[in-house]
């Protein structure tokens, strides 16, 4: 039986599990393509040894990678020329937004599109899985592919868009067990993409056009961003009023059709902090008439404010204990944006640390999963992080932090202050031990 050859470009949180799942399908042969940069080139060797470079808790991924590498259906290279042998190409590269004007930065997407176009052969299916602003596939990617290949999309090669819905900690589960949305440039492109995803997706696959699929992804995440912003503003209101927002959330959600989200120290990850802006950009660039996105833009600003709000809480707590910020040592617990993950993309810890350092504080960061965090001194030794600290600021609700022994923590610290950004520490227990406790949404 002739093998179906697939290339997956970008060995990150989307590309790795997608490639491994496809490589486990009988008759599929998958090559991952990863640029050999100083920051991520090491992934090539790790994956080719049958190991996962993702250090957080990812059920099933380690065993899956080991299995497909052992059977020879998956390998990783930095050689783009292998694309000429491929019948299907998945593009899974990062699409960040600029911090100043929130416009998308498509450097990686454009470069990969150029490289794909150089080696593209007739009849190949190209699928964009990266999240992009509505209108990007047909107005940015398609022209590059056509220009570089000299071929016509929909006639000589096929083009589709199918966005990822993954989340660290559930990468395999979410690819397999969430409905899939597929948009094609024409019927043939759509049909080919649907047939591919049927091999790995167990839930319903919805077909639509590319623009609708792109808009669906950005609106889906804007919806969640708005709901988190509401929870965050309610947390600040509750704290000001002297009540507990988490108790209030439970009371609200006791009605089955209500679902108030969890507030916290900030929103991170590759999707939520940028997808609202991608939706806005697509509207302004390709929409039929001028329109401003006031509601979702406000939600973005609220969520971006939360690390600064937490920094203000730290400063207030230190002042109550008569500790000057410029003489304080702050232990920041958790630099990954999501619990039990090593993913630091757009983590709120960035903003919190920058804010505290700008006021003269010494920062030591701890995370049990993250190996590299250039923005601060990082340790995996929790005792070392807490030793001599004047404040313990909990940013990420890693499993390990729920198991902290507060009497021991107090002995390690110089000043017993806890600022809890994720409702991890039991307030009553902390105060009983002798801590000054402040938590987002936890009024006195």
Which CATH number does the domain housing residue 182 bear?
3.40.50.720
Which pLDDT belongs to residue 1? 65
Which pLDDT belongs to residue 225? 97
Which pLDDT belongs to residue 150? 98
| C-alpha–C-alpha distance, residues 425 and 436, integer Å | 12
Residue 248 lies in a domain: no
Instruction: Pick the last residue of a domain from 186, 217, 248.
Output: 217
Which residue positions in the chain have pLDDT lower than 50?
none
Which pLDDT belongs to residue 416? 98
Residue 255 lies in a domain: no
Tokens read off for 123: 């009849």
Q: Which residues contact 405 (CB under 8 A, 6 or more apart)?
A: none
Instruction: Supply the residues annotated as catalytic.
Output: 217, 271
Residue 233 lies in a domain: no
Domain shared by 174 and 307, yes or no: no
Tell me the CA end-to-end span of the chain in Å, nearest whole number: 69
Instruction: Pick the last residue of a domain from 217, 242, 266.
Output: 217
pLDDT tens track for 393-404: 999 999 999 999
Domain span at residue 186 reads 4-217
Domain shared by 25 and 163, yes or no: yes
| C-alpha–C-alpha distance, residues 188 and 221, integer Å | 29
pTM over the 0.95 mark: no
- Domains of the chain: total: 2
Residue 252 lies in a domain: no
Domain shared by 424 and 304, yes or no: yes
Residue carrying the six token digits 């970008």: 10
| C-alpha–C-alpha distance, residues 414 and 30, integer Å | 54
Residue 279 lies in a domain: no
Domain shared by 329 and 192, yes or no: no
Instruction: Pick the last residue of a domain from 184, 217, 250.
Output: 217
| C-alpha–C-alpha distance, residues 299 and 124, integer Å | 41
Residue 431 lies in a domain: yes
């Amino acid at each position: 039986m002739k093998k179906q050859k697939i290339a997956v470009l970008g060995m990150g949180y989307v590309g790795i599990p997608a490639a491994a799942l496809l490589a486990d399908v009988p008759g599929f042969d998958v090559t991952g393509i990863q640029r050999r940069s100083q920051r991520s080139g090491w992934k090539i060797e790790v994956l080719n040894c049958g190991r996962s470079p993702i250090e957080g808790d990812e059920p099933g991924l380690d065993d899956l990678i080991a299995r497909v590498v052992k059977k020879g259906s998956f390998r990783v290279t930095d050689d783009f020329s292998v694309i000429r042998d491929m019948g299907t190409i998945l593009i899974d590269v990062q699409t960040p937004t600029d911090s100043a004007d929130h416009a998308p930065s498509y450097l990686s997407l454009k470069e990969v599109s150029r490289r794909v176009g150089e080696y593209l052969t007739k009849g190949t299916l190209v699928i964009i899985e990266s999240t992009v602003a509505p209108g990007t596939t047909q107005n940015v990617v398609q022209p590059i592919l056509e220009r570089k290949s000299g071929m016509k999309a929909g006639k000589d090669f096929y083009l589709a868009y199918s966005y990822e819905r993954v989340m660290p900690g559930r990468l395999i589960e979410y690819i397999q067990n969430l409905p899939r949305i597929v948009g094609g440039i024409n019927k043939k492109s759509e049909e080919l993409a649907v047939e591919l995803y049927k091999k790995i997706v167990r839930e319903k696959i919805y077909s639509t056009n590319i623009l609708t699929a792109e808009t669906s992804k950005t609106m889906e995440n804007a919806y969640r961003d708005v709901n988190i912003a509401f929870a965050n503003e309610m947390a600040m209101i509750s704290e000001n009023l002297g009540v507990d927002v988490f108790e209030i959330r439970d009371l609200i959600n006791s009605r089955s059709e209500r679902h108030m989200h969890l507030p916290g120290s900030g929103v991170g990850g590759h999707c939520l902090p940028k997808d609202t802006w991608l939706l806005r950009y697509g509207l302004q660039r390709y929409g039929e008439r001028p329109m401003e996105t006031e509601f979702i833009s406000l939600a973005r600003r609220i969520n971006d404010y939360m690390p600064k709000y937490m920094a203000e809480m730290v400063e207030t707590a230190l002042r109550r204990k008569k500790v000057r910020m410029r003489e304080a040592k702050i232990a920041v617990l958790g630099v990954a944006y999501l619990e039990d993950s090593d993913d630091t993309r757009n983590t709120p810890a960035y903003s919190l640390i920058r804010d505290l350092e700008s006021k003269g504080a010494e920062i030591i960061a701890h995370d049990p999963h993250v190996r590299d965090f250039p923005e601060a001194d990082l340790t995996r030794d929790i005792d070392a992080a807490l030793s001599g600290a004047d404040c313990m600021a909990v940013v990420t609700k890693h499993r390990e932090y729920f198991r902290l022994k507060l009497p021991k923590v107090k002995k390690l610290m110089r000043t017993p202050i806890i600022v809890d950004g994720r409702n991890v520490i039991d307030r009553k227990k902390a105060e009983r031990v002798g801590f000054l406790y402040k938590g987002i949404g936890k009024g006195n």
